[in-house]
Chain A
């Protein structure tokens, strides 16, 4: 019987099978950021331990950093202490840091691929659930807790139980103005926020094969919102083209690249490989998606009304009512009739150059509604420079947007970019949890194009018909 992409990478990284049925797995890349690492480094110091492979460990500052022009001086003393702690830890343990002010600083899941650290066939971990993003390259990448961060720093391994395999096939092609964000939101709505728990997802099918690397990253990024620690896409010519661009300093070159490519081409799941579960989604039937509730599984087509509390499969009446109360919505409402206060374009889900190009194409020659604050936050400093070289920043500013420096920003509001209570936001981020973007803030997850159109209209619109009129 053939092997899946996941099984090939897993078996190539087993250091030792443990008596209890788990495996000691070797980790090829460890990405570190300021929020989930300080306690791990403190553990190392207390035990007198060293970082085993500083050469495989990379670090950046993203969650806490201000995105305004005065970002280098962090006003919040607690945020500043955390950022300074990472600087000290990287200095003390000899770890490469792309810190605040560095040309490559940015969201950890944006800069890893940009720098060529993210490659097919690798095991990649980070103390961050959206590490699943890197699976877009055909890597096995997953989020870990701080105890596991410490474990990887010291041993370059993790003890893991082998998850199941779940193939998601997106057949056909998406209609106009339907993006990978809509595909993954649709999938989460279908299988639920725990539907992937215990599995590694592999995305395939015609619609996935046709996606750019940026779009693939958006899908894999949100695997965790379906409960799956990892999501993967088989490497192909699109992957190789992305990796072999000139600006990726850590990607292999020359003879090393030839050997790597031969290996990468052996990774896709074999034709006779068997998955534990499979699901086929007809991509052609997917409409632009928008969340109405307080988790990413509470999602619907843009044209649908907000559901009745007892009409949502997989959720109790009590849970739906709590979500509607929090969101300030009543059943039957069309979200296209509800005013927005804020539009956020950014996050590790949708802050790459292609996302910004899509938003800029909608905003070009238009202006945001007066009552809406529009925030555009590039995922990395490299993305920011590229966007400015293409003139996208001028389009955003002319549309009335705030054009910022790189960071996680309003996806989780650990920096000053937060919603105020009861503000309603169309957001390209990944989580519409209660309080996620700011205490009592209300989040509707959408694609970058939908977010840009919403900023102009002042409320959510069906971008397919709105752009035609």
Chain B
């Protein structure tokens, strides 16, 4: 897997909550038995008109976002289906980082990303960053005000820096396992196989139907 250490790139915004994985990669592309070729199909139904042309009304199709690699969006991104194709599509469409806010509802903290989606990102070199709602709002406003705005991400330091004339820095939290996996580009199966003796011992004493 491609490691993730630091990244600097153009920021694009998608102002929608609850973007589900059906929207990120529709069903017809799930019939492929390959791991590649999904990039041009990311957000397919929003991205293209019925005759297959880029839809100028879709936010991410704005010319100012050409070459973007950092996606900033709203809460509960990646909900719904477990399809890892959604992460493959985003990564193959040139995204390295996705930023979304956690929000509070009825006194509860609702995470920025759906569980299975978040778990899939770390296994594919895509960094999912959760920030506070006010911080994400700041990014949305800055992007609206400054075409071509870039951000810089340092995973080891757990920092995002918005490269405005007066740079703004946000610190983020990340699961230590996911961080390690991303930084080193580790193969999760190799890591687990290092504990093959433990698995064997567990299996000997464990009834798999009980």
Contact = CB atoms under 8 A, between A and B. Distances in A.
B15 A318 contact: yes
Interface stretch (B2-10, B74-82, B160-168): B74-82
B110 interface: yes
A161 B110 contact: no
Contact of A119 (B45, B75, B199, B209): B209
Nearest to A12: B206
A128 B18 contact: no
A28 B35 contact: no
A318 B73 CA distance: 14
Given A42-B35, A150-B189, A194 B76 contact: yes
A435 B23 CA distance: 8
Contact of B192 (A155, A256, A412): A155
Contact of B123 (A145, A157, A435): A145
Contact of B188 (A39, A121, A147): A147
B77 to A, nearest CB: 10
A192 interface: yes
A35 B198 contact: no
Nearest to B79: A193
B114 to A, nearest CB: 6
A194 B206 CA distance: 35
B176 A26 contact: no
Interface stretch (B26-34, B63-71, B142-150): B26-34
A445 to B, nearest CB: 13
A322 B16 contact: yes
Interface in B84-121: 84-85, 87, 105-106, 108, 110-111, 114-116, 119-120
Nearest to A120: B210
A78 B34 CA distance: 11
Nearest to B46: A434
Contacts of A414: 27-28, 30-31
B22 A24 contact: no
Contact of A145 (B80, B110, B116, B203): B116
Given A26-B202, A156-B199, A433 B177 contact: no
B115 A229 contact: yes
A424 B7 CA distance: 44
A315 B110 CA distance: 13
Given A157-B192, A197-B111, A319-B18, A143 B105 contact: no
B209 A35 contact: no
Contacts of B120: 145-147
B87 to A, nearest CB: 7
Given A121-B210, A295-B18, A82 B202 contact: no
Contacts of B105: 192, 195, 313-314
A338 interface: no
Contacts of B85: 146
A115 interface: no
Contacts of B17: 315-316, 319
Contacts of B31: 35, 64, 76, 78-79, 81-82, 414
B80 A433 contact: yes
Contacts of A16: 195, 198
Given A28-B209, A192-B105, A433 B192 contact: no
A20 interface: yes
B115 A412 contact: no
A225 B120 CA distance: 18
Contacts of B81: 128-129, 412, 431
A379 interface: no
Contacts of A71: none
A127 interface: yes
Given A85-B33, A433-B23, A193 B210 contact: no
Given A144-B82, A147-B124, A319-B18, 6 more contacts: A16-B198, A147-B188, A297-B18, A313-B105, A318-B16, A439-B26
Interface of A: 13, 15-16, 18, 20-22, 24, 26, 28-29, 35-36, 38-39, 42, 47, 49, 53, 56, 63-64, 76, 78-79, 81-82, 85, 119, 121-122, 127-129, 143-148, 150-151, 154-157, 159, 161, 163, 191-195, 197-198, 224-225, 227, 229, 252, 256, 259-260, 263, 277, 295, 297, 313-316, 318-319, 322, 412-414, 431, 433-436, 439-440
Ordered nearest first, which 8 A-B pairs have the shortest CB separation? Answer: A38-B33, A145-B84, A145-B120, A194-B76, A194-B110, A147-B123, A143-B82, A146-B84
18 contacts: A13-B206, A24-B195, A28-B208, A28-B209, A42-B35, A82-B31, A82-B32, A82-B33, A128-B81, A154-B193, A155-B199, A194-B18, A225-B80, A256-B209, A414-B27, A414-B30, A434-B22, A439-B26
